[in-house]
Amino acid sequence: MRPILKKPGSYRGSLPALAGAGVCLLSFILYLRTLAPTVLYYDLPVLRDSAVLQVKAYVLGIPDYTGYPTYVMLGKLFTYLPVGDVAYRVNLASAVYAALAVLFVFLIGWLLTGRSFAAAAGALAFGVSRIFWSQAVIAEVYTLNALFVSLTIFVFLIWRKTRRDRYLLLGAFLCGLSLTHHITSGLLIPAGFFFVLVVDRKKVLEVGLILKAAGLFLLGLLPYAYLPIRASMDYLPPGWTWDQPKISKYPPDTIYGFYNLVSGGAWKGRMWAFGPAELPDRISMYLNYLYGNFGQFHVALVLVALLGVFYLIYRDASAAVLLGIPFLGWLFHALEYNIEDIQYYFIPTYLILGVLMAAGFSALLDAIDSLAERVPSAVRLGLVVVLSVLFLVFPLLGTGATYAAVDRSGDYEGRRMMDAVATETKPNSTVLHHRSPLYYMILVQHRREDLTLINYLEKNAGPPRFKGVPEAKAALEDGPVYVLLPGKTTTPYYMGVTDSERLYGKAGLDLIPVNENVLLYQVVRRGTGGA
């Protein structure tokens, strides 16, 4: 089987550089124009961790499972940029990672096909896909994961093209580094191994090379050292806690605590949650996210990607191995993972599909080249150029609707929440909240440092009918108590406003509206009216 890679001479010229820069710049402009302008808030499943990540990047904290040390340290660097507020800068990091990921998807497609337009079409299809784009405009971990995945695959393909061991060693380092950000990136390890085995099996027998690769892989794991080091430091104000009960019980500066954190902690129980009988429904869900009601791609693009699968298998077995192993692994993991925001775990598979689209577009152009051999070369060239442009435009159809759906450029809800609490609560109060921007208000802005915050939905691990009531009753002994409810509607962790009022009422407490626009209520003993 012959690889799709063209002759070295086909890479000369400015077209690939212009195309790569163009898709990266266009993607970044779209992300920048739709970027969230400030601090975010909790809104399951769309905004689960963003408000917390913005703060932890700034104070160099430890996020929930699996720790994300590389994300935190890189995010801290972005907080020094002289643009916007701190929250905006952490949001901006996601946009930068996303645009670079799109660039590397283009480069992968270009290396595989030698066709700039095909590679650009696949990269743009991925870059403007709704779920990926939605993560490029907020503080989240998924675009950095996409960057690491695409960069690692690109480096392995560069090794195949040049056969220089330094790229193989760089790939080993990136496998380790990627693992420190997202444990699902561990699938790059078997993918890289079998890729090398197919390309040049002698390499896996070179003891010196293997030892160097192992050493660099371990070096890539070095960011994990951040977790026990930071956990051992007293870096929060006196009396502060993140209200992470499992992490507090098993801190990552202990051996078990470190293992528990990086391996997924309490979330491990949600993995491999579905049996064979449920697999068809899970696959149907994935297809619905792929091209159905929540579709990332037009069905025609999915068919082009499917053509790319057969094209790679026939023309480039080693690339099919490099892309196929992680794709199937990521897909199976996501299908078996019982989590509310599962759609974001599909993003790496969309990245691979973007590459496969590039291969599929290239296959169509190759077919047109073959069919048009009897026509004059100028006509054939014109036909290829026209179709190349059409291929490039096609992934952008529907971008306007996606733009409107993911646009957060006017989202100031988090700031409104902070302002309401800062101006409408009494001194030395206790505020019950859940993953809200109040952490940002106190730890980043240093406003209302007199307040005591209780993340009641995490602190109290009991059934939802009890959450918040014990904390509110205890806090009322010391002063005013407020609750900033996380939303109007019910979620797996929260029962909604009406049921919350009923819950507190059964405990002899009333929720007095303070600012219903942001769901801020004062908790008082029944009949006192807040006096």
Residues 145 and 228 in one domain: yes
57 pLDDT tier (thresholds 50, 70, 90): very high
Whether 8 shows a pLDDT value over 50: the answer reads: no
Residue type for position 168: L
The answer to whether 195 and 152 have CB atoms below 8 angstroms apart is no
Residues 402 and 381 in one domain: yes
Residues 387 and 281 in one domain: yes
Distance between CA 120 and CA 19 in Å, rounded?
6
Residues 399 and 491 in one domain: no
* Tokens 């807040």 found at: 530
Asked if residue 428 belongs to a domain, the reply is yes
What does the mean pLDDT of the chain come to?
90
Using alpha carbons, select from 488, 496, 184, 489 the residue that is nearest to residue 342.
Answer: 184
Using alpha carbons, select from 523, 519, 520, 514 the residue that is nearest to residue 471.
Answer: 523
Quick one: average pLDDT of 136-149? 98
Residue type for position 173: F
Asked if residue 109 belongs to a domain, the reply is yes
DSSP lists the bridge partners of residue 494 as 491
294 pLDDT tier (thresholds 50, 70, 90): low
The answer to whether 110 and 101 have CB atoms below 8 angstroms apart is no
Residues 396 and 430 in one domain: no
Q: Which of 184-193, 324-333, 383-392 has the lowest mean pLDDT?
A: 383-392
- Give the distance, in angstroms, between the CA of residue 44 and the centroid of all CA atoms in the same chain: 15
The answer to whether 230 and 62 have CB atoms below 8 angstroms apart is yes
User: 302: number of CA atoms within 13 Å, CB side?
Assistant: 14
The answer to whether 397 and 298 have CB atoms below 8 angstroms apart is yes
Asked if residue 208 belongs to a domain, the reply is yes
Distance between CA 431 and CA 520 in Å, rounded?
9
Helix-strand-coil split of the chain, %, nearest 5: 65, 5, 30
420 pLDDT tier (thresholds 50, 70, 90): very high
The domain total for the chain is 2
Quick one: average pLDDT of 204-232? 96
The answer to whether 481 and 523 have CB atoms below 8 angstroms apart is yes
Using alpha carbons, select from 156, 149, 71, 80 the residue that is nearest to residue 111.
Answer: 156
62 pLDDT tier (thresholds 50, 70, 90): very high
Q: Which of 43-57, 262-276, 366-380 has the lowest mean pLDDT?
A: 366-380
The answer to whether 131 and 303 have CB atoms below 8 angstroms apart is no
Looking only at the bridges linking them, the beta strands covering 520-525 and 430-433 are unpaired
Using alpha carbons, select from 518, 415, 363 the residue that is nearest to residue 4.
Answer: 363
**Residue range 305-326, pLDDT digits in tens:** 999 999 999 999 999 999 999 9
pTM: 0.94
Strand, helix or coil for residue 512: strand
Whether 64 shows a pLDDT value over 90: the answer reads: no
* Tokens 């009322």 found at: 476
Residues 441 and 345 in one domain: no
Residues 382 and 418 in one domain: no
Whether 379 shows a pLDDT value over 70: the answer reads: no
Quick one: average pLDDT of 329-348? 94
Distance between CA 362 and CA 117 in Å, rounded?
9
pLDDT: is 5 or 220 the higher one?
A: 220
| 452: phi then psi, degrees, rounded to nearest 5 | -105, 125
- Which of 377, 406, 435 terminates a domain? The answer is 406
Residues 120 and 155 in one domain: yes
Using alpha carbons, select from 187, 119, 114 the residue that is nearest to residue 148.
Answer: 187
- Give the distance, in angstroms, between the CA of residue 26 and the centroid of all CA atoms in the same chain: 20
The answer to whether 67 and 56 have CB atoms below 8 angstroms apart is no
DSSP lists the bridge partners of residue 510 as 524
**Residue range 9-27, pLDDT digits in tens:** 344 568 888 999 999 999 9
Residues 376 and 429 in one domain: no
Quick one: average pLDDT of 85-104? 98
Looking at residue 236, its pLDDT comes to 83
Looking at residue 315, its pLDDT comes to 93
Token pair recorded at residue 297: 């791609």
Whether 257 shows a pLDDT value over 50: the answer reads: yes
Whether 519 shows a pLDDT value over 70: the answer reads: yes
The answer to whether 24 and 103 have CB atoms below 8 angstroms apart is yes
The parent domain of residue 458 ranges over 413-525
Task: Give percent above pLDDT 70 in the chain.
Answer: 93
Distance between CA 389 and CA 405 in Å, rounded?
26
**Residues in contact with 342: Cβ distance below 8 Å, sequence separation at least 6, in sequence order:** 285, 334
**Residue range 475-508, pLDDT digits in tens:** 999 999 999 999 877 777 788 888 888 889 999 9
Residues 385 and 504 in one domain: no
- Which of 406, 424, 439 terminates a domain? The answer is 406
Looking at residue 2, its pLDDT comes to 43
CA angle at residue 367 from 365 to 370, to 5 degrees?
Answer: 110
Asked if residue 22 belongs to a domain, the reply is no
Question: Which string of b and e fits 134-146 if b means at least 16 CB within 10 Å?
Answer: bbbbbbbbbbbbb
Distance between CA 156 and CA 200 in Å, rounded?
12
Asked if residue 92 belongs to a domain, the reply is yes
Looking at residue 460, its pLDDT comes to 52
Asked if residue 306 belongs to a domain, the reply is yes
Distance between CA 18 and CA 350 in Å, rounded?
24
The answer to whether 183 and 263 have CB atoms below 8 angstroms apart is yes
Sheet holding 481-484, edge to edge: 452-455, 430-433, 481-484, 520-525, 509-515
Residues 136 and 209 in one domain: yes
pLDDT: is 158 or 531 the higher one?
A: 158
| Alpha-helical segments (H) within 163-276 | 165-179, 188-199, 207-220, 226-231, 245-249, 255-262
Distance between CA 473 and CA 467 in Å, rounded?
11
Quick one: average pLDDT of 444-468? 77
Whether 7 shows a pLDDT value over 70: the answer reads: no
**Residue range 178-210, pLDDT digits in tens:** 999 999 999 999 999 999 999 999 999 999 999
Q: DSSP letter string over 272-314?
A: T---GGGHHHHHHHHHHHHHSTT-SS-HHHHHHHHHHHHHHHH
Token pair recorded at residue 33: 């124009």
267 pLDDT tier (thresholds 50, 70, 90): confident
Quick one: average pLDDT of 244-254? 82
- Which of 406, 439, 464 terminates a domain? The answer is 406
Asked if residue 7 belongs to a domain, the reply is no
Looking at residue 476, its pLDDT comes to 93
Residues 93 and 170 in one domain: yes
Asked if residue 308 belongs to a domain, the reply is yes
